[in-house]
Amino acid sequence: MKNTTLCYIRQDDCYLMLHRTKKKQDPNEGKWIGVGGKFEDGESPEECLLREVQEETGLTLTRYRLRGIVTFVSDEWGTEYMHLFTADRFSGTLRPDCDEGTLRWIPIAEIPRLSLWQGDRIFLRLLQTCTQVFSLKLCYQGDQLVSACCDGKPISLSETEVT
């Protein structure tokens, strides 16, 4: 099991997105995701979040909040607990690139047209509609999402398709 963070930093009506194109043997290769990464020994979710955002973007978050815990279960990658955050205040200068890909501000309305994991579509929608902290479980076989539950209730996977 591993613990990670992921953050969607908002500016105006855009999220800062990372197009994963540079890291070798990257399970996220070619996908657009938020910024974050793996916990270091002894870190809290907030400490991991702040460190990873600074390392990947050059930004220092000044207002952020935990939005959900996402449990990924995979037949290929094992189990991961991702602490999902949003942020809307920061300082510093954005790096145009990081070691893992290219950073871009993407209008939120355009994000569904990007290459995303099917499960990411679920939690991105929850970020727009849910005011409480949620618990989301996403089960994958290979790259295919086979089931999803939010707060213990099944979610229809047909709702995650791009229209």
Burial class (CB in 10 A: 0-12, 13-18, 19+), 129: exposed
Please name the residues in contact with 129: beta carbons below 8 A apart, sequence gap of 6 or more: none
**Cα(40)–Cα(49) distance, integer angstroms:** 11
Q: Which two tokens stand for residue 147?
A: 């089931």
Residue ranges per structural domain of the chain: 2-116
Fold (CATH) for 2-116? Nucleoside Triphosphate Pyrophosphohydrolase (3.90.79)
Q: What is the reported pLDDT for 159?
A: 58
The residues pairing with 142 across neighbouring beta strands, listed in sequence order, are: none
Exposure string for 89-107, b = 16+ CB within 10 A, e = fewer: ebeeeeeeebebbebeebe
Per-residue pLDDT of the chain (163 residues; tens, 9 = 90+): 899 999 999 999 999 999 878 766 667 677 899 999 999 999 999 999 999 999 999 999 999 999 999 999 999 888 999 999 999 999 999 986 788 888 999 999 999 999 999 999 999 999 999 999 999 999 999 989 999 999 999 998 875 554 3
Q: Are strands 2-11 and 78-91 parallel, antiparallel or unpaired?
A: parallel
Read off the DSSP letter of residue 76: T
